[in-house]
Every structure is written in C-alpha cells, then in structure tokens.
Chains A and B, each alone.
Chain A
Amino acid sequence: MLELRGLSKHFGGVKAVDELDITVQEGEIFGLIGPNGSGKSTTINLICGVYQETAGTVRFHEELMNGKPPHQRLRAGIARTFQNIRLFPNLTVWQNLWVAQNSPEDLATQGFLSRWFGATRQTRREIATLLELADLEHKSDELASNLAFGEQRRLEFARAAAARPKLLLLDEPAAGMNRQEIHDLSLRIRRIRDSGVTILLVEHVMELVMGVAEQIAVLNFGQKIASGTPGDVQRNKAVQEAYLGTSDSDAPSLDTGD
C-alpha cells in the first residue's frame, strides 16, 4: 500500500535519507528503527509531504505522492502523530478533534453551512466516541494546553483517528512512557490496526517495536541496513553493529525484555 523507491533527502552535503526502498503491506504493523539521526523522522516527513524529496518516489495505493502538499496526502489517507506532541494549545480538546475531521467522507457528507458554521449530530456523536476511546470525555471543554502529558498523547491519537486514515504514521509514540504505559500503547496500536488501519511505527523503544511490529526495516545513516521479521532483524550482524558498535555501551539494547 505504501511504496518508497530510491527515496533520498539531502540537506546540503548530509544524506539524511539515501536511496531508501520500503514496502508496507496493507493491514500490517511495520516498524522503522535505527539509531539517533539515522533518518527515521525525515522518512516520515517525506511520506507526509513536509519535506520535498531530493530523489525517488513515494507511492500510496499506487498513486504517486511526489509534489503533493501535506493536506492532499492527508485526504488520500495518510495521518500521523508527532515525536514532540503537537496540538493546538488555544483550542479546546473538543475543538482539536472537530478541526481534524477533514477526510473525504466528512467533506462529502457535511454540507457547506453545517461544515463551517455548525456541527451535525453525526459530527458530535463521532467526537463523543473519539473522546470516550481516548478516555477524555471529562476534559472535552478544557484547553489542550491544560492537559497532562499522557492526556495530550491520547488526544493526538484521537485526532489522528478523526482523520479516518488508511495509513497511520506513529513517530516515537513511546517517548517518555513507563513500562505499563508502553504495554497499554502496544494494545492500543494493535486495536487501531484491527480496525483496518495500516501502521508505520517509528520507534526507539525496542520493547514496543519487537513486540508489536510484523515487519521491520532498520536504518543507519539514512540507508536501510536490514529488513525482515523482528527475529531476522535481531539476529542480523549489521544491525547489532549499528546499535552496539564495538565499544559504545550507551547504545540501546536489542533485548526485548522477554
């Protein structure tokens, strides 16, 4: 469903992403891992159109995405969350979800007046459901800036769901979470996939990726150094070197913890 071919992004002389080939199949959870600065976030930004690629192609459902602005890619079905939480702090929780309903279905079913100056009963019902799933019903009228960290993360997920995505890009969703929260997160990610959404998970926390992803690609210095199932990747020599190096003890462990 998502095909990256020869995708490259150069910032001056730095090759942040270099000749990347990735294929994500419909309905799978695909993990993209790699050390800091290996080009994972750049890849996400290329897929959703924040950056223009230096070379290569991004295809989504066989359709060429190159040159399309971010809002068209969202309407095609690509939504994302952010490594650093990004909400509209001056809008309420309810409004943050309201303004995220920009899928083609929503645009087609809401008339001009009800879209811009009112909220249809269906709109209200959907937002109520999203709030319930995110466990944020009681915070509906709170400004987003007044939410706690965990609540803001849940609101980001709910917002992504409000766009009715076919492909969801999760950019380091486990950042700053403890073990229990990571466990909850992995359940939530599976539930989203089971509802019919394909997931591209960019993550540092091995415990999450190895536990939840079915296919994994490993980046290092912008290049793909390995791919396959979690087992394949863990046994891969190049991967172990990229992460563990020869004497770098600070590098994250590939141990999944189980």
Chain B
Amino acid sequence: MDDYVITVLSNIGMISFIALSAYLLLLTGEISFGQQAYFGLSAYAAGAATAMFQMPIWAGILVGACAAGIIAMVVGALTLQLSGLYFSVATLAFAEMARLILLIVEIQVEVDGEMVGPEGANGFHGIRWMFERDISLTEFMLLIYGLLALTVICLLLVERSRLGSVLRMLGSDDLLAEMQGLNTVRYRILAVGAAGVIAGVGGALYAHFTTYVEPQFFNVMLGVHALAYGLIGGLGTAFGPLIGVAIDVGFLEAIRFIQGYRMIVFGGLVAILLIFMPRGILDEERVHRLKAVFSRRNHARA
C-alpha cells in the first residue's frame, strides 16, 4: 500500500471515532453539534501528555479520552436540562467556546532544548511520538483500526444488551422511559460521557498521526459531518456511521474528478437520504430484517 492509501484509510479510521460518538448520542435522541470539541480537546490533552510530559502513547490516549469523557459529562449535566434544539445550540456554543479557548492557550515547556506545547492560533507542533519511536504509517494504521474494532465491539455488545435498549428508549420516548422506572437523567449523562470518550480516542490518535493540531481543524463542520455520517449510514447498528464515513472520506475522496464539488455531492447525498431513508441506510427496520435472515440461516444449519 502506498502512503496515500494508508493516509486515506487512517483518516477513515480516525473520523469513524467521532462519527460513532455522534451516533451514540443520536441513539438517545440528542443532536449534538459539539462532538468536535471532545475530539479536539483530547487531541490537545493526549499531545501534551506524550510531547510535553514524555508519557507513552497508551497513557496519552487514556489521558485524552478520560479528559474528554469527564468534560463531556460536566457539560452534559449542565445542558441536558435543555431539550431538542436548545440542547443542540448549547453543544454548538460550548464547542465554539472550547475552540476559542484553544486559540489563546499558550503553555510551552522545554523538552530536549526545544519549546513544545500549544501555541494559541499557531497550533500545537511537535507531537512527534511516531518519529521518535520510528513507528511506520502502517503500524499506526493498525493501532487505529485495533482501537476502532474494540470500540465497535463494545458498542455492538451494548446494543444487544438491556443498556442498548434503554438508550434507544431515551431516543424514542424519554418520558415513557421515565414512567417505566428509569432514571433518564443518569443514562443521558452516561451516554454523553461515553460519547465524549469515543470522540476522545479518535482525537488522541489524530494528534499523533498528524504530529500537529490547530484549533481551526475542530470547527463546527467536523461536528456536522460526524452527525451526517450516522444519518447516512443508519441508526440501526454501529456499522451505520462507519458506512457513512467510508462513503464520504473513502468513496468521495477517491473519485478525483468531483474533488472541487465534494461538499456539494455530499450535501446532496445527505438531503436525498434524509428524504427517502430518514434513519439512514441501515435503519432499525432493515437491521431487524437482516438479523432475522441470519438467525433463520443459523437455525437451518443447526
């Protein structure tokens, strides 16, 4: 594989994390325009951990993901009183606030005679873990997909579980869930925190893949895309948002002649799908039918 293909595949992998993060909240019926904030904050936190404090990468990812999860829960506790559109606007406002703060944060420490750390609008250079350890692009891609596989497996297990059903309950009728004895506030905060962690893992990987992050990358368009991936790919299974990412970052990226028009094609695709498949390609109904087909086949075999 040449470097270009590896880079595209790695991007698909890393963007998948933020897509899964937005998907988890879509399941609970919340539309967040702010998941890019957790992706970005974690990129900074993880970068700081490895570049400024010489931590190993797994510690960096852990620091980034935990920071993102905790901040997400705090923001969640403050904003979940809001519902629907108000929640969406609040998440957007928070994400922009986080981005603007990153634009002014300047903390430099000296590492091996060089100053490293976030430099406000100039971004955060020198997250050179990959070079220092002589990690190849391919190896890093395997790390990305390893963690992605782990995340997807966790989500699939949750979806099969009662917890997964409860998350879908919040999405379809949270008052009914509450009247059935579920503390909906608690599960909402749990979902918001888990979504923060997932976005955080992606952000931490991103910082180490690109070696350089700047606040501008974590603007609202990243969050809007993250939402769109789940809506395109489908809300019936965690594979849905992955399909969405593959269509956008993979397929549309690969077709060179539409390069300049990619956003137009993508936007049109989202609009068409929302009209004909409001809950995406793999929606609950289709996933349910697919499962029925598979289980029948298994029964036939047994």
Contact = CB atoms under 8 A, between A and B. Distances in A.
Given A117-B157, A117-B161, A141-B292, A88 B172 contact: yes
Per DSSP, chain B at the interface is helix
Given A50-B175, A86-B173, A71 B165 contact: no
Given A88-B168, A88-B169, A115 B162 contact: yes
Interface of A is mostly: loop
In the complex, the 3 A-B pairs of residues with the closest C-beta atoms, listed nearest first = A102-B181, A74-B181, A90-B284
A99 B178 contact: no
A113 B172 CA distance: 25
Contacts of B168: 88, 90-91
A119 B172 contact: no
A116 interface: yes
Interface string A50-77: 1000000000000000000111001100
Contact of A116 (B162, B181, B182, B288): B162
Contacts of B169: 88, 91, 99
Nearest to A160: B180
A163 B165 CA distance: 16
A119 B173 contact: no
Interface in A78-105: 80, 86, 88-92, 95, 98-100, 102-103
B159 to A, nearest CB: 11
10 contacts: A70-B178, A70-B179, A71-B178, A74-B179, A74-B180, A74-B181, A99-B169, A116-B163, A117-B163, A143-B288
B292 A99 contact: no
A48 interface: yes
Contacts of A141: 292
Nearest to B157: A117
A124 to B, nearest CB: 12
A88 B179 contact: no
Nearest to A114: B162
Given A99-B166, A116-B161, A88 B173 contact: yes
Contacts of B161: 116-118
A75 B183 CA distance: 11
Given A48-B179, A69-B178, A103-B181, 17 more contacts: A49-B179, A70-B178, A71-B179, A71-B180, A74-B181, A88-B168, A88-B172, A88-B176, A90-B284, A91-B168, A95-B165, A99-B162, A99-B169, A99-B177, A102-B181, A116-B162, A116-B163
Nearest to A69: B178
Contacts of B292: 141
Contacts of B166: 99
Interface in B140-177: 157, 161-163, 165-166, 168-169, 171-173, 175-177
A106 B195 CA distance: 28
